[in-house]
Amino acid sequence: MADKKPPIDPQLVMAMVRNSHGNLDKVKELLAQEPALVNAAWDWGGGDWETALGASAHTGNKAIATLLLDHGARMDVFAAAMLGKEKLVREMIADDARLKTARGPHGIPLIDHAKAGGDEAKGVLALIES
């Protein structure tokens, strides 16, 4: 097994997640500084874990979500819903129907992630509502 790097500075993780709610330039800067931040998660308290992708997904920030995915972020049902990836969401829900009522970071439901996606996510929204 290869030697592991030390844990990422928690303040960098918090900064990455916080800025992924809407500050694209800062997200780019942080990724350049520490590429492993792309999948880091921050606990806001009480097990309310959030990644940078999770932050961009519930705020409807497609530019940040796309940047993160391009840098290796792991797609999840919440980001897929916001980005209007109907086929992917349909397959995930077919595999586990409970996802229709799943809650992401801050307890935000899947349907709200689809709403955050706007017109591009209308098909996903209809799928979740059915």
CA distance 97 to 95: 7
Whether 39 is in a domain gets the answer yes
> pLDDT per residue over 15-62, tens digit each?
999 999 999 999 999 999 999 999 999 999 999 999 999 999 999 999
Q: Nearest CA to 83 among 50, 59, 109?
A: 59
Whether 2 is in a domain gets the answer no
Whether 4 is in a domain gets the answer no
Q: Whole domain around residue 94: which residue ranges?
A: 10-129
Q: With bands split at pLDDT 50, 70 and 90, how would you rate the model's confidence at 1?
A: low
| pLDDT(65) > 70 | yes
Burial class (CB in 10 A: 0-12, 13-18, 19+), 101: exposed
Whether 5 is in a domain gets the answer no
CATH code, 123: 1.25.40.20
Domain count for the chain, please give it.
1
* pTM of the full structure: 0.94
Whether 35 is in a domain gets the answer yes
**DSSP bridge pairs for 42:** 50
